[in-house]
Structure 1
Amino acid sequence: MGAVAGIVAPIFALILMGAGARRFRLLDPAGLRGLHDLTFYLGIPALLFGAVVGTPALRILDVGLLYFAGCVLVFVAGVALARRTLGAGLAQASVLGLNCCYGNTVMMGVPMVAAAFGPDGVAILLPVIALHSILLLPMATMLIEADGHATRNPLRILWRTGPSLIRNPVIVAITLALLWRGVGIPVPDPLHRLLAMLGAAAPTLALFSLGASLPDFAAQGSLREAVLATVLKLLALPALVWAGAWAAGTPPLATAVLVLTAGAPTGANAFFLARRTGTLAAASAGAVVLSTALSVMTLSAILALVRP
């Protein structure tokens, strides 16, 4: 447990430092935007690109689909519970379902996995990050758009969401790195050093930025929905992913990375989708804050249980 605390404590200390900087006005909204852009457009892509091109073997498809299967089950459970127990419509239930399975895999998952398992762990995390944006967001968007519009063309919805995925720097970095691997050209030493410098800063910047962003997700009611989403996200999803990995005979390191990532709190993109569609925005904000706060305990427990 001491080794686990040594990994987890600095991570949440950085989150608290970010929140403190925002609370005491050491970082204004414009500065936070710049910090977030630096992290999301340079730091994280450099870290992911370096992880892809520097890893001897990648099991992208099987590991990613294993994780996605758990996400779909939790999404369906969240939608069903929202409709049966909360009387939510399809759009509201879909937003809640997304909050139950869409994790903070970039700003929280990457630093956590990097600290616990190093570059090999980050490489395993790549398909999870990619599938989050490529599959989960369009899936929820189609259901939201379909609520009250049964004849809505799914291809049109994909056409609307596609450009944002193509412009996503995380998706771009992973795609370019896979293409680079496919060509088989070694990374030039100056580029390797640049990627290493940017990638080394990414986890620290991501966690600090996450902490500074939390005040923007202050909940405004909708506690029941936020609690339901948090319970499914922090407890049900890791349990399902672990069960799937065990049944599939997944290697210990990959299992640990997948389960730890499944235990990450609800990602901000779930809130952004809710706000953009005007559906359960307050509940989504509450899920982000509540799950992030409680993940201090749940992630520590998960790491202690699954660390090889």
Structure 2
Amino acid sequence: MQQILLVTAPFFALVFCGWIVARAGLLPLEAIPGLNVFVLYFALPCMLYRFAATTPIVRLLDPTVSSVYLLCALLIVALAILATRRGDIGWNDASFGALVAAFPNSGFMGVPLLVALLGQRAAGPAIVALAIDMVVTSSLCIALSRLDSAIEHGVSRAIGNALKGMLKNPLPWAIGLGCLTAATGFRLWEPARNSVGMLADGASPVALFTIGAVLARPQKETASRGVGDVPLIVLCKLFVHPALVLGVGKLAQAIGVPLDDFALVVLVLIAALPSASSIPMLAERFSADTGRIARIVLITTMLSFVSFSVAVAWLA
């Protein structure tokens, strides 16, 4: 356990540093969007491109890994919506509650953390999970969130808006280019490769620091309801999600599906991560209850230092 904490503690310490600096006012709140732009459009795409480009293409296109993770993500979305959509919680808030329950912080935190813990081989399943969450889970939840206004604007328009948002996200494109590089054996011109490497090296520390700063930023609360269903969604994210992935994976193995034990461990640990830190900003953009979503992200991030480390000790 001590060896695991030696790896995980610095990751969470950087998140805490970002939170402290932002709360103390040393980092102006106006600077946080700039950090997000650097991470989302420059550093993180370069990191994901490098991981994808140096991972054997067969690991990135493993249908078993993607099927198991996708099935579990859809089940978590359905479970969260069924558990929370009642009373004054409509499709908008229920859908973003489902997104925050099903979408782990695999981009900013998960990929570099799991590679540090388990080695380069962990990048393949982790990138597959991230791609599914960015392309399918987030698009589905955004489309569902528009059902409250579907009569006025139409479901097709809601789905179209979700797809537009997906196409504007640079991370799937970076993963796709990395997969193409891995498949063709193409190598960037050395100066360009070195530039990509420098940006990739800065992705993890800046992303973790930015997570803390984002969580410290006062959120626009559109309809905050106190505690409400926050504990339920936190439980779903940190415990139900990884347990479901483990159960579905073991069942798949039992019926003869060729799912590698190592890949299953990576998927379970991805599911055990805290909620993605970008969801509160997305919720604010779609007029959901950002106070509720921000609390879930903050609580899962705090608790996961213990729960994730225990999961690693138990599985790995």
2:290 aligned with 1:281:
yes
Q: Which runs of 5+ in 1 are unaligned?
A: none
Give the distance between the partners of 1:43 and 1:153, measured in 2 at CA.
37
Give the distance between the partners of 1:289 and 1:150, measured in 2 at CA.
34
Give the distance between the partners of 2:141 and 2:37, measured in 1 at CA.
25
Counterpart AA for 1:50 = R
User: CA RMSD for the aligned pairs?
Assistant: 2.2
In the superposition, the TM-score normalised over structure 1's length comes to 0.90
**Inter-CA distance 20–87: structure 2 relative to 1 (3 Å threshold):** closer
- Greater alpha carbon shift after TM alignment, 234-243 vs 284-293: 284-293
Q: Deviations over 1:137-191 (max 9, x none)?
A: 2211222222353586443323222222222111121122223334332344333
Q: What secondary structure is seen at the aligned counterpart in 1 of 2:229?
A: helix
Q: What secondary structure is seen at the aligned counterpart in 2 of 1:180?
A: helix
Q: Aligned ranges for residues 1-308 of structure 1 at < 5 Å?
A: 1-56=1-56, 57-60=58-61, 61-83=63-85, 88-147=89-148, 149=150, 153-216=154-217, 221-249=225-253, 250-307=259-316
**Inter-CA distance 106–46: structure 2 relative to 1 (3 Å threshold):** same
Give the distance between the partners of 1:269 and 1:214, measured in 2 at CA.
10
Q: What secondary structure is seen at the aligned counterpart in 1 of 2:85?
A: helix
**Inter-CA distance 91–64: structure 2 relative to 1 (3 Å threshold):** same
Counterpart AA for 2:101 = C
Give the distance between the partners of 2:152 and 2:31, measured in 1 at CA.
44
Decide whether the 8 Å contact of 2:53 with 2:180 is kept in 1.
no
**Inter-CA distance 227–29: structure 2 relative to 1 (3 Å threshold):** same
- Greater alpha carbon shift after TM alignment, 119-128 vs 282-291: 119-128
Counterpart AA for 1:73 = L
Give the distance between the partners of 1:30 and 1:282, measured in 2 at CA.
19
- Greater alpha carbon shift after TM alignment, 205-214 vs 250-259: 250-259
Give the distance between the partners of 1:182 and 1:287, measured in 2 at CA.
39
Give the distance between the partners of 2:121 and 2:198, measured in 1 at CA.
18
**Inter-CA distance 25–87: structure 2 relative to 1 (3 Å threshold):** closer
Give the distance between the partners of 2:195 and 2:78, measured in 1 at CA.
43
In the superposition, the TM-score normalised over structure 2's length comes to 0.88
Give the distance between the partners of 1:152 and 1:236, measured in 2 at CA.
35
**Inter-CA distance 34–284: structure 2 relative to 1 (3 Å threshold):** same
Q: What secondary structure is seen at the aligned counterpart in 1 of 2:307?
A: helix
Counterpart AA for 2:280 = F
Decide whether the 8 Å contact of 2:7 with 2:116 is kept in 1.
yes
**Inter-CA distance 94–163: structure 2 relative to 1 (3 Å threshold):** closer
Q: Deviations over 1:24-55 (max 9, x none)?
A: 32211233322222222111111111111111
| Percentage of matched positions with identical amino acids | 26
- Greater alpha carbon shift after TM alignment, 226-235 vs 181-190: 181-190
Decide whether the 8 Å contact of 1:110 with 1:203 is kept in 2.
no
**Inter-CA distance 187–30: structure 2 relative to 1 (3 Å threshold):** same
Counterpart AA for 1:172 = W
**Inter-CA distance 94–32: structure 2 relative to 1 (3 Å threshold):** closer
Decide whether the 8 Å contact of 2:44 with 2:200 is kept in 1.
yes
TM-fit CA distance, 1:217: 5.6
Decide whether the 8 Å contact of 2:76 with 2:98 is kept in 1.
yes
Q: What secondary structure is seen at the aligned counterpart in 2 of 1:58?
A: helix
Q: How many residues are paired up? A: 306
Counterpart AA for 2:148 = D
Give the distance between the partners of 2:161 and 2:148, measured in 1 at CA.
17
TM-fit CA distance, 1:221: 4.6
